[in-house]
Structure 1
Amino acid sequence: MFIKERIPPIELEVLPQLMHRLPFHHKSWPDVERAHYMIKAGHGGEIEVDRLLKQMRWKECLFISDLQLSEAYCQMDTIVLTPYFAVILEVKNYSGTLIFDEESMHMRQITKQGQEIGYRSPVTQIWNAREELLVLFKEMGVSLPVYAAIVLPYPTTLVENIPKTFPVIYGHSLNRFIFTLPRNGQPLPNEELLRIGELLIKQHSPFSEKNYPQTFKYHPSELKKGILCRQCGAIGSRHSARTYHCSICQLRIIDGFRHALDDWFALVSPTITNRQCQDFLMLHNKNAARHVLLRAELKRVRKKGQFYYYK
Structure 2
Amino acid sequence: MLIITPRFILIIESKNISGTLTFDQKHNQLIREVNGKVDGFQDPISQVKHQEYQLKNWLNSKKLPDFAIETCVVITNANTIIKVTGEEKRNTPSIIKSSNIVFEIERLNEIHNHRKKQNKRQLSQLSNIILNLHTQPVLNILNEFNINVNDILSGVFCEGCNTLSMIRAGGKWKCTICAKTSKTAHLQTINDYYLFICTYMTNKQFRNFANLSSSTTSYKLLSSLTFETSGTTCDRKYHITLYQPK
TM-score range, shorter chain: 0.7 to 0.9
Structure 2 residue 106 is matched with structure 1 residue 194: no
Q: Map 1:130-145 to 2 at 5 A.
A: 130-136=52-58, 139-142=63-66, 144-145=67-68
Cα RMSD between the aligned structures? 3.5
Structure ranking higher in helix proportion: 1
Task: Select the residue among 14, 35, 43 that pairs with 1:91.
Answer: 14
1:120-152 CA distances to partner (integer Å, 9 max, x unpaired)?
Answer: 11111111122234335554342x543322122
Give structure 2 stretches of 5+ with no counterpart. Answer: 241-246
Aligned length: 229
Give structure 1 stretches of 5+ with no counterpart. Answer: 1-76
Structure 2 residue 209 is matched with structure 1 residue 280: yes
Structure 2 residue 166 is matched with structure 1 residue 244: no
Task: Select the residue among 37, 43, 46 that pairs with 1:124.
Answer: 46
Q: Residues of 1 paired with 2:229 and 2:65: CA distance?
A: 45
Q: Residues of 2 paired with 1:299 and 1:185: CA distance?
A: 47
Q: Secondary structure at the match of 2:16?
A: coil
CA apart distance, 1:82? 4.9
Gap change, CA 1:118 and 1:195, over 3 Å in 2 = farther
1:102-127 CA distances to partner (integer Å, 9 max, x unpaired)?
Answer: 3443323344x556544311111111
The sequence identity of aligned pairs, in percent, is 16
Q: Secondary structure at the match of 2:99?
A: helix
* 1:81 match: 5
Structure number, greater radius of gyration: 2
Structure 2 residue 76 is matched with structure 1 residue 147: no
Contact 2:168 2:212 in 1 (8 A): no
Letter in 2 for 1:172: S
Structure 2 length-normalised TM: 0.72
Bigger RCO (CA 8 Å, 6+ sep): 1
1:267-305 CA distances to partner (integer Å, 9 max, x unpaired)?
Answer: 222332233223211123434434443444545444594
Contact 1:258 1:296 in 2 (8 A): no
Q: Residues of 2 paired with 1:285 and 1:161: CA distance?
A: 63
Q: Secondary structure at the match of 1:306?
A: coil
Q: Map 1:183-262 to 2 at 5 A.
A: 183=111, 186-189=114-117, 192-204=118-130, 205-207=133-135, 209-212=137-140, 213-230=142-159, 233-238=162-167, 240-241=169-170, 242-245=172-175, 247=177, 251-262=180-191
Letter in 1 for 2:101: L
* 1:38 match: none
Task: Select the residue among 174, 186, 204 that pairs with 2:101.
Answer: 174
Q: Secondary structure at the match of 2:30?
A: strand
1:219-257 CA distances to partner (integer Å, 9 max, x unpaired)?
Answer: 322211001135774212448442223847x85445122
Q: Residues of 2 paired with 1:218 and 1:265: CA distance?
A: 15
Gap change, CA 1:296 and 1:187, over 3 Å in 2 = closer
Letter in 2 for 1:94: I
* 1:109 match: 32
Q: Residues of 1 paired with 2:13 and 2:160: CA distance?
A: 33
Q: Residues of 2 paired with 1:195 and 1:290: CA distance?
A: 45
Structure ranking higher in strand proportion: 2
Contact 1:246 1:253 in 2 (8 A): no
1:176-216 CA distances to partner (integer Å, 9 max, x unpaired)?
Answer: 43434463684424xx3434422332341224541423334
